Structures are given as C-alpha cells and as structure tokens.
Chain A
C-alpha cells in the first residue's frame, strides 16, 4: 500500500512570496490533515478535511493560509504572502475514518519550507 505523498520536499522562498504544497493521501482515506511543525516543536494541526469538506480550521491563519481538497482526494495548502515565521515543515496525514477511537493517522515525508 502506497503511503502519503507530498511535494515538493524542500522549498526556499523570500518573504512576501507565495508558495503551494501538494498532498496525495493513502487511497481510500476520507480524512486528511495538514500540520505545521516548527523546529523543536511537535506538529500543530492547521486544517482537517473529511472528504472535501473542512472539519476544523480553527488554527489556520486564514489571512495568509488557504487549503482545498477538490474531489475529496488530493489537497493543496497555500501561503500568500509568506512571513519569516512560516519557516517550518508542513506535514500531511490521512486516516480512514473520522471516528476518534479508530483514528490512526499516517504521515507523509513533509515539505520543509524556508522563508528568507
């Protein structure tokens, strides 16, 4: 079974530029998550999708971050414009069910963003 795929793996941009990340979850997984992991910290949930609907985006900085999951499969996360503090690893994860008790999440390799 193929895992969660993400691209690009690395991205370097200057502040105020825009950037987009792509995620392809495990086939058949209805729930998709985007996390931000700043160096030395644990991942922080940015947004959670169930199929193509948003379940939780309470920690997404909506003035600059946006995400979509068209057709309930692939997802993109965009930052526009980027700030220095957005430098982090952006992790995508998926799970087969929204049911909490059985919700094991599987993570992709992440995209390391550096904002100069």
Chain B
C-alpha cells in the first residue's frame, strides 16, 4: 500500500527566504508525482507534475525534483512571498495497471511566509 509522508508538517519563514518542502513515498513504482497548493477553504491548485521518467520541473519560482529510486521529491520555493502562504500537498499516482491507478496524497505542509 502506497504511503506518502510530508515533512515538515508546518513551516514559518520570513519573506525573501528560499525554502524546501519534502515528500517521501513508500512504493517507488509510480507513474507521476504532483504538487498542489491549497488555500484555506479552497480546492487544490496544481503547481507542478513530474512524470516518472523526469528528474525535475520548473515553473517560475518553483522547482520540483523527483528521485524515484529513493522515493523522494522536493519542492523548492525561491524568494518566498507572503502570498505563498498556503498548504502544499504532494500526491503520487501508482497502481498495478488497467484501471487500478490511484492518487495518494500526503497530509501537507502548512507554509506561512511572514512579511
């Protein structure tokens, strides 16, 4: 059974700092990994999707890396801003094939960027 762990559970940083969020998963046989952002009371916004054959993806100030063999991914946020404050969720897609694909989520990291 796939399990996804995110560390830390919460993080508070001053504005302008670079930061790293961590995600680990127990079964390395994944198809892809997706990072989401969730604002309070809102749905999930997809930030980056990394296919299993890729090592990293970049979008603006965000960079996500994937080390499938070790079951790890990191989300790097450069020059953090108060508007980055949200919960960041990591999810992996895995399964045995056919229709048996599941997206398994971690519990998220609550990020607060202080002005």
Is this pair of chains taken from one and the same complex?
Answer: yes
Distance of A48 Cα from B103 Cα, bound (Å):
11
Contact of B107 with A107 in the complex, beta carbons under 8 Å: no
Interface size of A by CB at 8 A reads 27
| Interfacial residues of chain B within 92-115, with CB under 8 A of chain A in the complex | 93, 95, 99-108
Interface size of B by CB at 8 A reads 28
Distance of A48 Cα from B105 Cα, bound (Å):
16
B-side binding surface: helix, strand, loop or mixed? strand
Stretch at the interface among B46-54, B65-73, B76-84: B46-54
A and B contact pairs by CB, cutoff 8 A, 14 listed:
A41-B107, A48-B99, A50-B99, A56-B99, A56-B100, A91-B44, A100-B31, A100-B93, A101-B31, A101-B52, A103-B31, A107-B36, A109-B42, A109-B43
**B45 contact set on A, CB distance < 8 A:** 107
Contact of B31 with A107 in the complex, beta carbons under 8 Å: no
